[in-house]
Structure 1
Amino acid sequence: MFSIGPKVGVRHLQSMLIFSGFCVAFMQRANLSVAIVAMMDRNSTNPDFPEYDWSEQTKSLIQSSYFWGYVLMQIPGGQLTQRFGGKLMLLFSVGIGGIITIFTPFGAQLGDWQFICALRFLQGFCQAALYPSTHTLIARWAPPAERGILVTLCFSGMTFGTVIIMSISGILATSQYGWPSIFYVSGGCGIIWSFVWLLWGGESPRQSKLITPKERNYIESALAAVSKSANNTTPAKLPTPWLSIFTSLPFWVLFITHCAYNWGYYILLTQIPSYIKNVFDKDIQSNALISALPYTANLVLGLCFCVLGQVLLSKKVLSTNASRKIFNTISMWIPMAATIPLGFVDANSSDMAVILLTLAVGINSAALMGFFVNYIELSPNFAATLQGITNFGATLMSIIGPLVVGVVVTDTTDPNQWRIIFYTMVFSYFIGNLLFVTLGSTKVQPWNEPMKRNANRVQQTGE
């Protein structure tokens, strides 16, 4: 029987630090999507900051360059995290990303769009370890009973950062410092965060100088009850069981679920604004308040789901397995249900389309209490590797999705062509969650402790 820890402790401080790290990282990731509008504004009257005459093709190339570096480093990023630890790799992701961000305006002056593409590629390359490092840290800091709430707290930072940069970018771009200030602010925040993380961030409770013995014993005993090697052996000393991972049904279910989620989520975020603009003649991207609505709903509802899930688990209304599958169903099948009428909304009801989009994106956040936690549950020791592999496939989905839209939707004002895209989203969400509910698992897999597994095999065979 493990001890009872403090209700608020250093584990929550670590989660808040990771939250702010994600916030800053996504400010760095999303800043260009807003800044590029000011960079290409031919009507600007401010001669102090250059404007660039880029084509739409060049603009798309600049905006996608981040993701090519990001996807290339996904699996290696998981392995590097396993080798060097979550603290160092998270520091590297946010800190180096901040330096690159600050240098972006100078890069534009030095080498035009080609240099910006190179910088964004490097930024994506560096930030590929964001998710693997966070899963590694949570696996060592979050007691099983608190994983849902701490995971949600950490990953809510990505939505909060997006809302912040979208809210302030317009003000920064029109200030006396011009559009470069968007990069200076988001990059500077990354460097400041890096110093705070160096001082207060901890790889594990055992390596933290801030934690009390009572809280450390609480965390370690709770983790040991699930995985014997969780605190005694560092993942760097464990050989990655590649064959066991790639022949594991729960892993492949998680992989498909993550890919299905990304397909629907990123089409919603990147393409539906275009659908509403062209079909309903309502440009929601020109309205800062409406543009931020889906992200704000995602953040608020994510925190609500977090509290609800934790209450249900603490009062033992739901088991961990039931909780993960119920919240994952909410995150994928309710947006699926909202997407179907979105393709049939009357052209005079643009407000209804915006409401459905906001509802779909907002409720997607329930996934933070669903499959997002599953990496740690399947394998605390190899959560970074699992996350790197699945995020590789999921990132490809977020890249391929807009390309498919470009092929299918040849006339952006034709709602019938858009319905085909909506049908792919419905199919993706339905199949992804169906597999997770029927075949997914929340049990620690035998290959989480390969040394122990091999020792048992030797003992049984007498070799």
Structure 2
Amino acid sequence: MAITPSEGVDSSVIRINSPAHPSFYSVHSHRFIICLLLLLATYFSQANTLGMSTAVVCMVNSTLVQDPHNENVKEPKCAAAHNESTPEFAIPGSFDWSPSEQSWLLSARFYGNCLTVAVSGAAADWLGPDRVLTGGLLLSSALIVLTPPLAHASYYALVGSRVVIGAADSFHVPAINSLVQRWYPAAGEKAVAVSIYSMGFQFAGGFASLFASLICGSTFLGGWPSIFYIFGGTCCAFAVAWAVFGSDEPAKNRWVNEAERSWLERSSIKIKSKARKEEHPTPLSTILRSAPLQSILICHFSSWFATTMMQTFLPLFLRDLGLSIDLIGWLTLTPFIAQIGGKAVSGPLIEYCVRKERISMTNATKLAQTISSVGCSVLLALLAFIPSCSNPQIACPFLIVYGLLFTGSTNGAYTAMFLISPKNMGTISTLTAIAKIAGSLACSAVVNAITAIDVPYKWALVFAVTSIVLCGACIHFLIFGAGDSLLFIFMPKSSSGD
């Protein structure tokens, strides 16, 4: 078995540069509609998780449960300001879960991810991404709606439901990745599609938590239960909409017009059914030995290391600066909102440059990844040392620029994932999902270890480790990364000896 750049080129992989192909941005383009639907699918998958993170604050009676973090402010310059200015909020929730029980509840979804992540990519390939995505969303939405009665019935029943939701959610990303592979044949158009649909992560991070916090204290449908009724109900409605307008591939979709269908049939990557997979299987050992894939996995690890740090631990850093709860909430949203704007510009820009042949797709992905990793590392250094208790608001512009630069990782290694080996998209999606989980776990372990040490400037250490991880992954991708399938081909075993 060999991996060579000069043999075995899949003739179905076609780079589209012809101006005659149907416009992506058109009222007649069902590809654009599919992309928006994938954005919503990503949003609902993330929003269901973030909804619980916000709702648990309202579910627990804070007068009965003490937050241990209030006693752990170690920064010398901020301890006094924190103790004097941070108000205490008494939330009369329904439950008296301890901090440990709250932590287990919020992490239960992760353990559910671990149960199914190894088979999620294969399921998308064998059962079809359309069925996998629809089934996963319907199961998740049903359990989200049942969250309030489960919470009142038993804490352990609620934790079990979150585990099942996590197991179902593991199938969403591989299914979405497979759909992107089937619907968007041109390399540049893939970059646009990835930039658009992945905005769902930022919309969820930026608005789902805010929306949940706004309705958390209301009296509508009992207050906090309305979060789950609304989130679960809208997710179920979306799953029905996807079943109507979505499909595994353009050939099966009745909403695609004839001109678009004809172009897609001529230029799309022809992903065959189970029979083709059995005819030309790619051994996992061959995939794992591939340096370009290894670089993508390392970049996914580093990206989710940084993402977990921002999503989970940024509020603690801002709290240690002595900021109010309201200001912490808005500042936490800032980098995710900035990422939405960055993706709206970077994806089309790369597509234009590649289509005009001003840069190769491989060089485009490497340039985007470098700007993201190096730029974010610099911003983390500034964020660690410049904001203080006397000028905490100065963190806002740093977070905005950080969010804009972080979008480069989407157009870098994340886009390359769709291009290096189309027929192995399911397996690659599973491996990148494992890298994502590993990055999140590693970030949590590093932050917990550093904050447990009684030393000043602990957040500077956290940001320094994050910068090292980002830059190390960037160097590996610059050397070994690839953004073109012609540079990275898995060759099946020769049948001459059979």
1:313 pairs, out of 350, 354, 359, with: 354
How big is the shift at 1:109? 0.4
1:276 pairs, out of 313, 318, 339, with: 318
1:209 has 2:254 as partner: yes
How big is the shift at 1:254? 1.1
Cα distance in 1 for residues equivalent to 2:169 and 2:287: 24
> Equivalent residue for 2:230?
185
How big is the shift at 1:293? 1.6
Task: Quote the RMSD (CA, aligned, Å).
Answer: 2.5
> Equivalent residue for 2:423?
381
Cα distance in 2 for residues equivalent to 1:360 and 1:346: 15
Cα distance in 2 for residues equivalent to 1:319 and 1:446: 12
Higher mean C-alpha displacement, 79-88 vs 365-374: 365-374
Cα distance in 1 for residues equivalent to 2:395 and 2:271: 47
> Equivalent residue for 2:265?
220
> Equivalent residue for 1:254?
296
> Equivalent residue for 1:338?
379
How big is the shift at 1:285? 5.9
* Conservation of the 8 A alpha-carbon contact between 2:420 and 2:488: no
How big is the shift at 1:72? 2.9
* Conservation of the 8 A alpha-carbon contact between 1:328 and 1:433: yes
> Equivalent residue for 1:296?
337
1:34 pairs, out of 11, 36, 54, with: 54
> Equivalent residue for 2:129?
86
> Equivalent residue for 2:149?
106
1:200-225 deviation digits (Å, cap 9, x = unpaired):
1110111111112321232233235x
1:118-165 deviation digits (Å, cap 9, x = unpaired):
111111100101111111111110022300001111111121133231
Cα distance in 1 for residues equivalent to 2:58 and 2:274: 51
SS of 1:329's equivalent?
helix
1:14 has 2:31 as partner: no
1:361 has 2:403 as partner: yes
The aligned runs of 1:112-261 (5 Å cut-off) are 112=155, 114-144=156-186, 145-176=188-219, 177=221, 178-224=223-269, 229-230=270-271, 237=278, 238-261=280-303
> Equivalent residue for 2:85?
none
Return the structure number with greater helix share.
1
1:300-330 deviation digits (Å, cap 9, x = unpaired):
2222222322232233322111111111112
Cα distance in 1 for residues equivalent to 2:297 and 2:434: 10
How big is the shift at 1:43? 6.5
Cα–Cα, structure 1 residues 403 and 232, in superposed 2: closer, same or farther, change >3 Å?
A: closer
How big is the shift at 1:411? 6.1
> Equivalent residue for 1:55?
98
Cα distance in 1 for residues equivalent to 2:380 and 2:210: 26
1:24 has 2:44 as partner: yes
How big is the shift at 1:286? 5.7
Structure 2 counterpart of 1:67, one-letter code = F
Pairs aligned (count): 446
Cα–Cα, structure 1 residues 54 and 445, in superposed 2: closer, same or farther, change >3 Å?
A: farther
Cα–Cα, structure 1 residues 234 and 338, in superposed 2: closer, same or farther, change >3 Å?
A: farther
1:27-67 deviation digits (Å, cap 9, x = unpaired):
112101111111114469xxxx9511122222111111111
SS of 1:175's equivalent?
coil
1:424 pairs, out of 440, 465, 473, with: 465
1:405-436 deviation digits (Å, cap 9, x = unpaired):
11211268x54222221221111000101111
Q: Provide TM-score, normalisation by structure 1.
A: 0.89
Structure 1 counterpart of 2:237, one-letter code = I
SS of 2:357's equivalent?
coil
Identity of aligned residues (%): 20
SS of 2:106's equivalent?
helix
Q: Provide TM-score, normalisation by structure 2.
A: 0.83
Cα distance in 2 for residues equivalent to 1:310 and 1:281: 43
Cα–Cα, structure 1 residues 171 and 420, in superposed 2: closer, same or farther, change >3 Å?
A: closer
Cα–Cα, structure 1 residues 355 and 60, in superposed 2: closer, same or farther, change >3 Å?
A: farther
SS of 1:377's equivalent?
coil
Cα distance in 2 for residues equivalent to 1:96 and 1:447: 37
Structure 2 counterpart of 1:115, one-letter code = A
How big is the shift at 1:446? 8.8
Structure 2 counterpart of 1:408, one-letter code = I
1:267 has 2:312 as partner: no
Cα distance in 2 for residues equivalent to 1:121 and 1:285: 31
Cα distance in 2 for residues equivalent to 1:415 and 1:285: 26
Cα distance in 1 for residues equivalent to 2:311 and 2:326: 11
Cα distance in 1 for residues equivalent to 2:335 and 2:371: 17
* Conservation of the 8 A alpha-carbon contact between 2:296 and 2:414: no
How big is the shift at 1:269? 2.3
Cα–Cα, structure 1 residues 21 and 108, in superposed 2: closer, same or farther, change >3 Å?
A: same
Cα distance in 2 for residues equivalent to 1:232 and 1:190: 29
* Conservation of the 8 A alpha-carbon contact between 1:269 and 1:361: no
Higher mean C-alpha displacement, 98-107 vs 367-376: 367-376
User: Which 5+ residue runs of structure 2 have no aligned equivalent?
Assistant: 1-13, 65-91
1:336-385 deviation digits (Å, cap 9, x = unpaired):
11111222125222112343234323421222211111222111111121
Cα distance in 2 for residues equivalent to 1:298 and 1:142: 23
User: Which 5+ residue runs of structure 1 have no aligned equivalent?
Assistant: none
